[in-house]
Structure 1
Amino acid sequence: MTEQSVIFFDIDGTLLDHDKELPHATKEAIFQLKEAGHVVAIATGRAPFMFEDLRKELDIHTYVSYNGQFVVLNGKVLHTNPLNIPSLVKLTETALHNNHPVVFMDHKDMKANVPEHSYIKEGIDSLKIDRFPTHDPYYYKERELYQSLLFCKEGEEKQYEQEFHDFDFIRWHPVGVDILPKGGSKARGIQKIVDKLGFPPEHQYAFGDGLNDIEMLSTVQNSIAMGNAEDTVKEAAKFVTKSVEEDGIYHGLQMVGLL
């Protein structure tokens, strides 16, 4: 290797396959990058507590979580961008009237505004994590929240988009939508890290597959969409690799000359 680069990886559908397993070739590729002296980071919509085991397994200490709202560099918090709480309270009141549950999330935990709901179970179960939100309808008080989850069917989020302009809404599941601060994104979180580390655009790389990766893939100069990504995601990227099940990470890194 002649020069050091930084590579950001999404988790679900990128590092992890659809069974939430880490392919052997992907793990091998990550350690080859690290051994070559590159900086390996994660850029995900997940909360920090949702991928702690993965960070330990891959020995990664730099990450963009909550789609850019909670950014950590070498184990230390670099940037936070919390939600507007008064607006979130109003949204939650509307959602409660519509029987749409909401989950409040900070960097340590997540709490639901209702005791139980089938949509919460369906959405959280799909992540295959060992954490489930317990009930605390006032978890938003006296703390910063970096993301919330609105559970509703596809199309039903339109009402909230029209009414609550402090937020962006990104669907991640047939019954689940991320609530983010307006303008918050993985791309902005990544920018905080590359500004601090001083990497020029030509030495920045990003891999992703989801709708919440579009801004990241269209902003990072060397962007690679997974083969399992939707067409709109692939169109945002400079390169397209194989699917996660076909060792897309390893193949993509070879494609761009990092391995």
Structure 2
Amino acid sequence: MQKPIVFFDIDGTLLTEEKTIPDTTKKAVRLLQEKGIHTVIATGRVPKMFYWIQKELNIDSYVSMNGQYVVFEGKEIYANPIDPKRLQSLSEMTESNGHALAYCSHNDFKASVKNHPFIESGFDALMMSYPEVNPEFYKHTSIYQGHLYCKDKDEKLYFDHFPDLSFVKWHDCAYDILPKGASKAVGIRKMLEVLDMKIEDSFAFGDGLNDLEMLTEAGTGIAMGNAVPEAKAVADIITTSSSNNGILNGLIQVGLLERDLVL
């Protein structure tokens, strides 16, 4: 039997609300690795935002920016940039509406404007500082994901004007921007193809709206106890919260770790 592969979301999954990694999660990931089980990060974040997590957990494979940029054991295996012309249209529209954007490349991210309250709120939630500002960043490098910052009442302006793009809410007044059809599930499929693995040998942990496709696609989808209702509805299993041994308990529940050997 082929060794399974486990995909982990970051915020609300590997990390608690305080943006820390529980000791039980560190132990669980280490035990998987000792058993020869692939451990992979699957996140909406830019790689630059989670290098410290990779180092802490000894994980060098990831599905980042919601499936737009995929790396296995340090090697890029899939990249799907957004059309620069669409980004230019988005930039012009947000500027005229007083809204804001952030642009995410494979190794960096920039904001379109200074001191925007919605950007401040979003990055405060991630416990990160305000990004550097470069409104022309998308003109000089490949962009795999954008962030739109606007109020809920204004979201439809962008939904209607850009039907070829997806807008996935991740915080109050903050949305990930992706090509239509992009998701963590796409990135997972790309990685499984490279590894010649079957989907039924995959497991995925998540908690947010951007995890729905991943939880549905994986052989076994595991929603955290703190997950949004939509994630719990599509998951095969619901574990405890990220701050209450959720990763460890979920891995025991699906049989990847043995309770007697862990606790």
- On whether the aligned pair clears a TM of 0.5, the verdict is yes
Deviation string, structure 1 residues 11-68 (Cα, Å, up to 9, x no partner):
0000000010101100100000000110000100000000001001111111000000
Q: Matches of 1:138 and 1:128 in 2, distance apart?
A: 25
Q: Matches of 1:78 and 1:43 in 2, distance apart?
A: 14
Map of 2:170 onto structure 1: 172
Matched, 1:14 2:13: yes
Aligned-partner SS, 1:124: helix
- Farther off after superposition, 185-194 or 155-164: 155-164
Query: How far 1:183 moved relative to its partner?
Result: 0.9
Map of 1:94 onto structure 2: 93
Map of 2:120 onto structure 1: 121
The one-letter code sitting in structure 1 at the alignment partner of 2:97 is: N
Aligned-partner SS, 2:154: coil
Matched, 1:200 2:198: yes
Aligned-partner SS, 1:180: strand
Map of 1:28 onto structure 2: 27
Q: Could you tell me which of 175, 186, 189 is aligned with 2:187?
A: 189
Q: Matches of 2:151 and 2:22 in 1, distance apart?
A: 31
Aligned-partner SS, 2:130: coil
Deviation string, structure 1 residues 61-113 (Cα, Å, up to 9, x no partner):
11000000010011011000111111111111111111111111101221112
Q: What is the aligned-residue identity percentage? A: 45
Query: How far 1:126 moved relative to its partner?
Result: 1.0
Q: Matches of 2:231 and 2:154 in 1, distance apart?
A: 23
Map of 2:149 onto structure 1: 151
CA contact (8 A) 2:19 2:126 kept: yes
Q: Matches of 1:227 and 1:115 in 2, distance apart?
A: 36
Aligned-partner SS, 1:134: coil
Q: Matches of 2:72 and 2:117 in 1, distance apart?
A: 36
Aligned-partner SS, 2:185: helix
Aligned-partner SS, 1:183: coil
CA contact (8 A) 1:87 1:166 kept: no
Aligned-partner SS, 1:111: strand
Map of 2:212 onto structure 1: 214
Query: How far 1:132 moved relative to its partner?
Result: 3.2
Map of 1:61 onto structure 2: 60
Deviation string, structure 1 residues 125-179 (Cα, Å, up to 9, x no partner):
21113x5321211111131101111111224211101111221100000021111
CA shift in 2, pair 1:215/1:155, >3 Å: farther
Q: TM-score, normalised by structure 2?
A: 0.95
Q: Matches of 2:173 and 2:108 in 1, distance apart?
A: 21
Q: Matches of 1:197 and 1:140 in 2, distance apart?
A: 32
Map of 1:72 onto structure 2: 71
Map of 2:82 onto structure 1: 83
Matched, 1:248 2:246: yes
Matched, 1:233 2:231: yes
Q: Matches of 1:109 and 1:3 in 2, distance apart?
A: 35
CA contact (8 A) 2:84 2:138 kept: yes
Aligned-partner SS, 2:175: strand
CA contact (8 A) 2:119 2:130 kept: no
- Give the CA RMSD over aligned residues: 1.1
CA contact (8 A) 2:105 2:143 kept: yes
Q: Matches of 1:27 and 1:52 in 2, distance apart?
A: 15
Query: How far 1:116 moved relative to its partner?
Result: 2.1
CA contact (8 A) 1:10 1:208 kept: yes
Structure 2 residue ranges without an equivalent (≥5): 258-263
Map of 1:110 onto structure 2: 109
